[in-house]
A and B are shown apart, each in its own frame.
Chain A
Amino acid sequence: MNEPILKTENLCHVYSAGTPFELTAVKDVNIEIYKGEILGVIGHTGSGKSTLIQHLNALIKPTSGAVLLDGRDINASKDSVRQARSRVGLVFQYPEYQLFEETVYKDIAFGPKNMKLSEAEIDERVRISAQFVGVEEELLDRSPFELSGGQKRRVAIAGVIAMMPEVLVLDEPMAGLDPGGRESIMENILTYHKKTGAAIVIVTHSMEEAARHAGRMVVLNHGTVAMDGTPEEIFSRGEELRSMGLATPVMTDLSERLAALGVKLPRTVYTVEQMTRALLELERGCRDAS
């Protein structure tokens, strides 16, 4: 595989070091993010997910260890920090609560403006990123506070996309949305991924979502990397996942139950489509045998 664009080296972070409230949130984390991949980061509440991703664009400085962007430490200088902020886009949980401008247009333009781009370029980026997240042209002049919850979320994500990051990190981007909204926001993110080739990091505790889209997954537990691999590899260790307080995808559960009944599926299954295919294959196999 090619060189990772972003990588952490023995990353550790300790909150309130030296006080009775000392807490090690992240310990010896080594992860790599490659160009053009979709990485799912999974872990239950308090597993260090949020702390980890805030290191990726230098919002938090590591207690020890380093974050490397193209092989260079992002905390090396003020300039490298500024670079990391624009090349690694970070969408926080419930990003709609960060909107503040008078119009949708101005809010999306906040990031590019801070990057000191020209007026023309800002305009172009605002329109492109609005398109990516499915915000119609006529909404751009409205106040962001008049929009519905789902639309606000889209505008907030557009605000980060407008910086055209090479790595887009999203913390629970679908939390609190209805199924339709979840589906379409995920599609918007995938469109950005396809059109620009940016690496996407999706932080979630929903196995289903990670299973459907991620090419690779990292499972965090108590601030350390417990697993790192393809969804197949990870979901084949269902028992371990459950012992960490994580739910396995429904289809994985189903295949495990089938196995308990003596029905052996040809391979690890974690989506409905895979299950359908596996069952059809199994049926064909039975028919051939008889």
Chain B
Amino acid sequence: MLRDITLGQYFPGNTVVHRLDPRTKILLVVLYIAALFTANSWASYGVVVVFLAAAMAISKIKLRVMLKGMKPLIFVIVLTAGLNLFYTRGEVLAQWWIFTVTREGIRSAVFMAGRIILLVMGTFMLTYTTSPIMLTYGLELLLSPLKKLKVPVHELAMMMSMALRLIPTLIEETDKIMSAQKARGAQFDTGNLLEKARAMLPILIPLFLSSFRRADELATAMEARCYHGGEGRTRLRVLRFELRDFAALGLGLSVLAAVIVIKRFSL
């Protein structure tokens, strides 16, 4: 069933990580990614892993949950590791048909796969501990300097939060329309590709219509409550950097610094 899909993977909680300012968390992820892409040795990877593990432990996000979310990416990870394994030149360890495994190949395969896994886990940490509303608010504030360049930052953030809000509604609606057409004998899983595509029309057309209707109603409702864009708009909850945010950012910066130092002096 469609409604079983988990979306907007926010896991509510009340840990320090959850309470951090969303801007802090976004910046931390940026620092984390920078550190991850600078890292090129066991020691520097170790620093990144310790940082991530600490964040996971504090926020009580279980490793099992993270690995579950990683499932769709297994193919990409295996492919990247495979390419690196077989296409890196160096000291030959084993050879079979057109495949050559080198010492450098193994090393770069492990590092590349590790880099992808750590990258995904790091960004998961952000979405798992930050509600979509806070996330878009944080993004809006961080990107607000771009307003000087006439980028409609507020509008983009508003669109993003509305899109997130409407995903579950849309899924529910699709479910309902599918049931109704099935009740009239529609079949979605038989015939060739063209027939299958045509069988989607009785779902897509009502879905489109209701989406437009919903958008129209939403726009009217917003205007009725005097929405006129971001100009002069205030918030119920105003974000303010707290001591813990500075501490967290300091920690993130020191992780990046540590990785750079390790690289520079090839420890």
Could you give, for residues 80-92 of chain A, a 1 whenever the CB lies within 8 Å of some chain B CB and a 0 otherwise?
Answer: 0010011001101
Interface residues of A in 150-187 (CB under 8 A from B): 159-160, 163
Given contacts A16-B4, A92-B176, is CB(A99)–CB(B206) below 8 Å?
yes
Tell me the minimal C-beta distance from A110 to chain B in angstroms.
Answer: 6
Q: Which residues of A contact B (CB under 8 A)?
A: 16, 54, 57, 59, 82, 85-86, 89-90, 92, 95, 97-100, 110-111, 114-115, 145, 159-160, 163
B181 contacts which chain A residues (CB < 8 A)? 98, 110
Q: Is the CB of A115 within 8 A of B185?
A: yes
Could you give, for residues 173-195 of chain B, a 1 whenever the CB lies within 8 Å of some chain A CB and a 0 otherwise?
Answer: 00011011111111100000000
Given contacts A54-B179, A92-B179, A145-B209, is CB(A100)–CB(B201) below 8 Å?
yes
Alpha-carbon distance between A98 and B201 when the two chains are bound, in angstroms: 11
- Cβ-neighbour of A163 out of B185, B187, B210 (below 8 A): B185
Q: Is the CB of A85 within 8 A of B206?
A: no
Q: Is the CB of B210 within 8 A of A114?
A: no
Q: Is the CB of B179 within 8 A of A160?
A: no
What DSSP secondary structure best describes chain A's contact surface?
A: helix
Alpha-carbon distance between A168 and B202 when the two chains are bound, in angstroms: 22
Q: Is B2 among interface residues, defined by CB-CB distance under 8 A?
A: no
Interface size on B, residues (CB 8 A): 18
- Cβ-neighbour of A59 out of B182, B205, B210 (below 8 A): B182
Tell me the minimal C-beta distance from B209 to chain A in angstroms.
Answer: 7
Tell me the minimal C-beta distance from B189 to chain A in angstroms.
Answer: 11
Q: Is the CB of B183 within 8 A of A85?
A: yes
Q: Is the CB of A89 within 8 A of B183?
A: yes
Q: Is the CB of A85 within 8 A of B205?
A: no
Q: Is the CB of A163 within 8 A of B184?
A: yes
Chain A residue nearest in CB terms to B202: A100
Q: Is the CB of A160 within 8 A of B186?
A: no
- Cβ-neighbour of A85 out of B4, B177, B185, B210 (below 8 A): B185
Alpha-carbon distance between A92 and B183 when the two chains are bound, in angstroms: 9
Q: Is the CB of A114 within 8 A of B185?
A: yes
B176 contacts which chain A residues (CB < 8 A)? 92
A85 contacts which chain B residues (CB < 8 A)? 182-185
Chain A residue nearest in CB terms to B4: A16
Provide a sorted-by-A list of 26 A–B residue pairs whose CB atoms are within 8 angstroms: A57-B183, A59-B182, A59-B183, A82-B185, A85-B184, A85-B185, A89-B183, A90-B180, A92-B176, A92-B179, A95-B180, A97-B177, A97-B206, A97-B210, A98-B181, A99-B206, A100-B201, A100-B206, A110-B184, A110-B185, A110-B186, A114-B185, A114-B186, A145-B209, A159-B184, A160-B183
Alpha-carbon distance between A89 and B176 when the two chains are bound, in angstroms: 16
Alpha-carbon distance between A86 and B184 when the two chains are bound, in angstroms: 7
Q: Is the CB of A98 within 8 A of B185?
A: no
Tell me the minimal C-beta distance from B195 to chain A in angstroms.
Answer: 13
Chain A residue nearest in CB terms to B210: A97
A163 contacts which chain B residues (CB < 8 A)? 184-185
Tell me the minimal C-beta distance from A86 to chain B in angstroms.
Answer: 6
Tell me the minimal C-beta distance from B203 to chain A in angstroms.
Answer: 8
A16 contacts which chain B residues (CB < 8 A)? 4
Alpha-carbon distance between A285 and B201 when the two chains are bound, in angstroms: 66
Alpha-carbon distance between A54 and B182 when the two chains are bound, in angstroms: 11
Q: What 9 pairs across the A-B complex have the smallest Cβ distances?
A: A114-B185, A100-B205, A111-B184, A90-B183, A98-B180, A92-B180, A100-B202, A59-B179, A100-B206
Give the one of A16, A85, A115, A145 with max B CB within 10 A. Answer: A85
Alpha-carbon distance between A151 and B186 when the two chains are bound, in angstroms: 23
Could you give, for residues 1-28 of chain B, a 1 whenever the CB lies within 8 Å of some chain A CB and a 0 otherwise?
Answer: 0001000000000000000000000000
Give the one of B4, B180, B202 with max A CB within 10 A. Answer: B180
Alpha-carbon distance between A117 and B98 when the two chains are bound, in angstroms: 59
Alpha-carbon distance between A54 and B179 when the two chains are bound, in angstroms: 8
Q: Told that A85-B183, A110-B184 touch, could you supply 14 new A-B pairs with CB distance under 8 A?
A: A57-B183, A85-B182, A85-B184, A85-B185, A89-B183, A97-B209, A98-B202, A99-B206, A100-B201, A100-B206, A114-B184, A114-B185, A145-B209, A160-B184
Tell me the minimal C-beta distance from A58 to chain B in angstroms.
Answer: 9
Alpha-carbon distance between A82 and B190 when the two chains are bound, in angstroms: 13
Chain B residue nearest in CB terms to A99: B206
Tell me the minimal C-beta distance from B218 to chain A in angstroms.
Answer: 17
Tell me the minimal C-beta distance from A13 to chain B in angstroms.
Answer: 12
A115 contacts which chain B residues (CB < 8 A)? 185
Tell me the minimal C-beta distance from A106 to chain B in angstroms.
Answer: 11
Interface residues of B in 160-182 (CB under 8 A from A): 176-177, 179-182
Tell me the minimal C-beta distance from A153 to chain B in angstroms.
Answer: 13
B183 contacts which chain A residues (CB < 8 A)? 57, 59, 85, 89-90, 92, 160
Give the one of B181, B182, B183, B185 with max A CB within 10 A. Answer: B183
Tell me the minimal C-beta distance from B185 to chain A in angstroms.
Answer: 3
Alpha-carbon distance between A57 and B185 when the two chains are bound, in angstroms: 10
